[in-house]
Amino acid sequence: MDRRRKFIWEEMSYLERWWRDASEDKRETFTNLVKNGQLEIVGGGWVMNDEANSHYFAIIEQITEGNMWLNDTIGFVPKNSWAIDPFGYSPTMAYLFRRMGFENMLIQRTHYELKKELAWNKNLEYVWRQSWDANETTDIFVHMMPFYSYDIPHTCGPEPAICCQFDFARSHGFSYELCPWGQYPVETNPENVQERALKLLDQYRKKSTLYRTNTLLVPLGDDFRYVTAEEAEAQFRNYQMIFDYINSTPSLNAEAKFGTLDDYFQTLREEADRINYSVPREIGSGQISGFPSLSGDFFTYADRQKDYWSGYYVSRPFFKAVDRVLEQTLRASEMLMAFLLGHCQRPQCEKLPMRYAYKLTAARRNLALFQHHDGVTGTAKDHVVLDYGTRMHTSLQDLQIFMSKAIEVLLGIRQEKYDQTPALFDPEQVRSKYDALPMHRAISARKGTVQSVVLFNPLEQTREEVVMVVVSRPDVSVLDSNWTCVQSQVSPELQHDESKIFTGRHRIHWKASIPAMGLQTYYIANGFAGCEKAKPAKLKFSSKLSSGPCLAPYACSKVEGDTVEIVNRHQVLTFDVKHGLLQKVIHKNGLQNVVVEEIALYSSSGGAYLFLPDGDAQPIIKSGGNLVISEGPLMQEVYSYPKTSWEKTPVSHSTRIYNGGNTVQDFLIEKEYHVELLGKDFNDRELIVRYKTDTNNKRIFYSDLNGFQMSRRETYDKIPLQGNYYPMPSLAFMQGSNGQRFSVHSRQALGAASLKEGWLEIMLDRRLVRDDGRGLGQGVMDNHVMNVVFHILMESNISSTSDPVSNPLPLSPSLLSHRVNAQLNYPLHAFIAKKPQEISAPTHSRSFSPLAAPLPCDLHIVSFKVPRPSKYSQQQQQLVDPRLVLMLHRRNWDSSYCKKARSQCTAVADESVNLFNMFKDLTVLNARATSLNLLHDDTEMLGYTEQFGDVARDGRVIIPPMEIQAYKFELRPRQ
């Protein structure tokens, strides 16, 4: 075996698949190659994830899943990351890698003008620092590849026609395309080796002038390569001959060899230690001297001319939504699993969680797989999308069955914790197939019966909010777990259908209170003596609908005038009746905001990756659609089925406000868009919603990166419209010079722009016939019916803020904004009893409240889980690692806005939090700090400030704003 030959491997999903079928001999050979440094695993995540649409929860899960599998299987922990193919890059990755113990990163797809600028100043290698980091604790070294692509014609040097001659897999014996420049590779032999070597070395020298050091990296590979031993042999054999010539010719003054990524970074760091490459007045880093430090992100990517890759922020939005549903269901399931096992002392009560352990692992891996840079991006072929969708759907169903059984145990209903009987509860939402919208399960509410509804709150604070379930008849009451009557409201269920807007079912709303990370039961009763029935909403119709009979038990009237209002304690919303669109918002403190809602279509010639609009978006709503207004004590709604040029409108929408009495919900406006961009009428069309406000934002807005941090976005005339679109995984906001803020929170990844002063537009769906030439080979035509939900928040600050125009740093959301985002992205999980009970049969009070007290408002539990659920029992015997992990993120918030988040926010995490007394009936043992991929317990190497890691002594945890910290521990029931 030639030890000079080296190779790198990135994605664990493929390696795990190969490993499953590999013989013992092959496994051993592979492991030995890794151990002797010939084969380096780089990144080692389950996949090479997208960085625009992926949420940081899923990114952490996917890297950890891959890294832990690798460590368990081969005993290797990666320290260099390799991300050549995501379409733009996020600093969130740099932060997470640093806190996982990685040392170096490599990236490739950044804007061609940016590459030019960085290359000119020899800044293609730099230290990436977070914009909020004053102490240089987040610095990580980055190598950016300099040219158009990562394939062989674009990696040896600046001239692809020459580099292609050194891609020996393009010789005639292999199935790859020949060099498009007309000069082909020739086998290296003693006669031509000098000419070949000098030609290649000339490219290397030219490439090296773009970097500071004398150490040069030349990757040698491409997509779908090295599939046969002959192909690998051709590359290794030809190059070795060239390298031997270079190395044996002293006058060339060069040394060339095969290496791994680690060989490169080690050699480079040794050189940088010896020679100072710093430039005068350059801000560097203590991490590695001689290189500049940079902050910020690399969106939006363009690879040539005006081809901006902003289309994939929105492509396949249906699955971008499913992705987030799977995320929050997995997070909730992992919590319940942790509580089940924490409260468990006898082996037989481990049977339920153990039976579902492999399904939790499968769910984690299916979610991880979808984070791939052709998964959540919406840039896969139709049959691959079907596979992703099916996997996510299967996992969602498995997790919901597990959750419904777990809540029985935690509520004390199921004593035989391991029995095989079916669950007593069904999830309130049911998905019939992988590409269908979830439906609400209706509660039948027969006379003389009650049906229980159990709510799980996955957040770290007590939750007070108005909740909704669907009932098949309206004459019901709501009781809490002590059988006390609760005020409720009933309104008709609506659907996207011009002739039949009412489904015949009803929505019942009430205000619920659910403990932090806990469970609470409510009852829907029919005929419970002494209980007021749900109050029917008052209905108003636009003229077209008002001719029909009024639906029982509602009072109906006709909308009079050109405008209509809905009102709660904090705001008045005004709508234009003819078009059914929002016009303005008046706040109860007297402030008025113009918020003109517009729904429009772009005509476009892009594809899955590229957004290429042919001019501006054209509004599609005409005068004369249907309008239904429901007004009740807890929820007010305007539903609009608008008139458009098409027989069936592609969009209908609801606007809701709530009256929960001092809840977070009371301050927001809920927008739900039902989108059906189906059929050839909408070919090469992209649907947007645009909010035209009076916020003087100077075309500057802020959008989040991976749900973790904000980035400042400024609209420039010098770049085309599509280049001013940015990823919006969960939030975008504008701020005016008077400090007024207009925020839109989303529960799925989309794209956003502020093309004119005060405008914020968000793309909802896109349907494109053509392939855009970036490797997919098809358009995006598999659109699905879907609902997009936004929570809009308008805030005015209470103290002076920095001016967005002059301040280049990103602003942070307010505390209220963080809470709105958390409630939207981590909704309550509702479960309905399969069988109604007779009212006469008494039921126990049912709740579960695991925390000793709610956590501070700015502290978020990223995850609370058993990382290796299937090995939980074995680990007990071996007592290796503590078996549970708690990951905490302290959110940074803008203190110039209301501190109490206008709700029951009593504490923020200025003081330490004590892990030892966090849980009510559980004792925390053997606590220790760990890296975010759970593989490094030496926290020095992770860059955190010094107080991190002393938790074992007194349980005290101090988390600076923006930081994420992970702790391993054991849980035992308190005696």
Catalogue the active-site residues: 85
Separation CA 476–CA 443 (nearest Å): 10
Neighbouring CB atoms inside 10 A of 304's CB total: 7
Contact status, residue 793 vs residue 667, Cβ threshold 8 Å: yes
* Secondary element (H or E) of residue 971: strand 964-973
> Where do the H-state alpha helices sit in 508-634?
none
- Residue carrying the six token digits 């074995």: 874
> CA 973, 974, 975 angle in degrees (round to 5)?
110
Q: Which letter does DSSP use for residue 433 in this model? A: S
Separation CA 259–CA 453 (nearest Å): 60
Relative to beta strand 538-541, strand 555-558 is parallel
State the first-to-last Cα distance of the chain, in angstroms, to the nearest integer. Answer: 60
Enumerate the β-bridge partners of residue 185: none
* Secondary element (H or E) of residue 57: helix 56-74
Contact status, residue 408 vs residue 834, Cβ threshold 8 Å: no
Contact status, residue 51 vs residue 85, Cβ threshold 8 Å: no
Contact status, residue 833 vs residue 911, Cβ threshold 8 Å: no
- Residue carrying the six token digits 């039921």: 843
Give the HSE-up count for residue 766: Cα atoms under 13 Å, Cβ half-sphere. 34
Enumerate the β-bridge partners of residue 735: 741
Residue 278 vs residues 138, 140, 281, 704: alpha-carbon distances, Å: 20, 17, 9, 33
Residues 6+ away with beta carbon under 8 Å from 807: none
Residue 497 vs residues 431, 674, 833: alpha-carbon distances, Å: 20, 11, 31
Q: What is the DSSP string of 14-46?
A: HHHHHHHH--HHHHHHHHHHHHTTSEEE-S-SS
Instruction: Residue 129: name the closest of 277, 236, 287, 332 by CA.
Output: 287
Instruction: Residue 286: name the closest of 134, 136, 138 by CA.
Output: 136
> CA 124, 127, 129 angle in degrees (round to 5)?
130
Residues 6+ away with beta carbon under 8 Å from 424: 404, 408, 413, 414, 833, 834, 835
| Token pair belonging to 814 | 């307010």
Is cis: bond before 553, omega within 30 of 0? yes
Separation CA 833–CA 392 (nearest Å): 25
Instruction: Residue 279: name the closest of 270, 268, 289, 264 by CA.
Output: 289
Contact status, residue 872 vs residue 883, Cβ threshold 8 Å: yes
| Token pair belonging to 193 | 């080796």
Separation CA 685–CA 601 (nearest Å): 6
Separation CA 694–CA 738 (nearest Å): 11
Instruction: Residue 548: name the closest of 505, 498, 507 by CA.
Output: 498
Torsions phi, psi of 487, nearest 5?
-60, 135
How remote is the C-alpha of 458 from its chain's centroid? 17
Instruction: Residue 968: name the closest of 836, 867, 830 by CA.
Output: 867
Neighbouring CB atoms inside 10 A of 562's CB total: 9
Separation CA 628–CA 581 (nearest Å): 12
| Token pair belonging to 952 | 């074992």
